[in-house]
Amino acid sequence: MGFGNNIGKYQLSRTIGEGTFAKVKLAVDTTNGQYVAIKVIDKQMVMESYFKYQVQREIRTMKLLHHPNIVQIHEVIGTKTKIYIVMEYVSGGQLLEKMSYAKRLDEGEVRKLFQQLIDAVDYCHSKGVYHRDLKPENLLLDSKGNLKVSDFGLSALHKPGDLLTTACGSPSYVAPELLLNKGYDGAAADVWSCGVILFELLAGYLQFDDRSLVNLYRKICRAEYTCPVWFTESQKKLISRIVEPHARKRILIPEIVEDEWFQRDYVPACGYESDENLHCDDVSTAFDSIEEEVTEKKVTKSPSFINAFQLIAMSHDLDLSGLFEEQDHKNKTTRLGSTHAINETIQKIEAAATDASLSIERMNNFRFKMHPKQKMTRCSRSYSDLSAEVIEVAPSHCVVEISKSAGELGVYKEFCKSLSRFLAQKTGVLSQTQDPEDVHIEGKNNQENECSKDSSYEGNKDKGEIHLLND
């Protein structure tokens, strides 16, 4: 095997994996001859794509986790142009590859893999880590056939009980509550994905599958699936309790562990405290070395890119929440399309606010709150009843989401009409002669969708898999 470049004590070899911003290289530790996997990340590409926080999140998460069924991180090396994450090398490849040629696995092997998956996920949750992208591609096998959970790039680190808001993951494995554009419990979402993986291991095919993304999400929300004839009653019972569309009714991990089918030949695997003195360069400092250079070149971008989940939720006709939850009709939301760049769209929001006699307050680069201009008296109420958020779909196309949480409906309608008129104007034109009726306004009742400022976008090569990160 021919080895090439050296990074520290590691000698790099062939590429064994590739993603949007990184390659995974096989390498050997020259001090002991052991193989490692090194994720090589292009630092400048990460900076320009607002991917920095996801990289830092993945490193911080992996440093927390020490479990025999989770891929271990050894160290992080930063250079002027690259970040190198040195990890445990798992030689057996992806579980997906094994499934592709084995089709259906033996029940005993499936049980062992599922037990190891549940042990690993339970350990993650005990550390406040929620994976959010569990699927066979992210489950590796070592030389003895033991399972290792990998790829924590979409993980979230939260206190137990805190709700997450980001819809992310892979369509066939995503829990229904992630499709509702509301808060969800990360632990329950991971449990759902484990159930879908269990079904696939036993059946040899996906539990939820459809060429239409809309139909796929309908099936997921309704838990519409059919078990093959060879499934036993105990298997069907356990899967039905895990793949429960109502998150609050879904089985918990302690209950899964107590299940009769699960308990057979079960040997628990426990996490451990690492004795290694894990050396990690200060990744923030490593990024800072090129941050100024990138900032000078970049054009302002919205971190809130549209993903597949949001596109479904944004359409009035395709709203899936009514499949198993009551609609909330208290808040009013309107979405307007803009054929202008992000900066000009923001200027038009500010102009429309002025036109509608609204005071505007910028919450972050892409989110605003507005309220009517008025003299303050003892009887007046001080609150922000309108908000607007800009979501970039493409360099010259945006979506503006306007929400009314309180106040008069007339003020809300006036601002929407004014903004639609400004958005209909050509670039650089602020005339108010355009007929607002020429612009389509899509309004629907929905909960306000809060987006945080530190969000990143990653589009996976797999069909339909698009991620939005903002937790």
Active site residues: 133
Residue recorded with tokens 């958020």: 389
Rounded CA-CA distance 184/273 in Å is 30
Distances 155 to 23, 60, 131, 135 between C-alpha atoms, Å: 19, 10, 4, 13
Amino acid at 465: E
Rounded CA-CA distance 116/128 in Å is 19
Per the CB < 8 A criterion, the answer to whether 250 and 241 are in contact is yes
- SS3 category, 28: strand
Rounded CA-CA distance 407/246 in Å is 33
Bridge-based pairing of strands 386-394 and 397-404 is antiparallel
Rounded CA-CA distance 133/124 in Å is 13
Ligand-binding site membership of 413 (annotated): no
Amino acid at 242: I
The H-or-E segment that residue 42 falls in is strand 35-42
DSSP conformation letters of 166-235: ---S-GGG--GGGGGTS-B-HHHHHHHHHHHHHHHHHHSS-SS--SSHHHHHHHHHHT-----TT--HHH
Binding residues for ATP: 39
Q: Which residues are annotated as a binding site?
A: 39
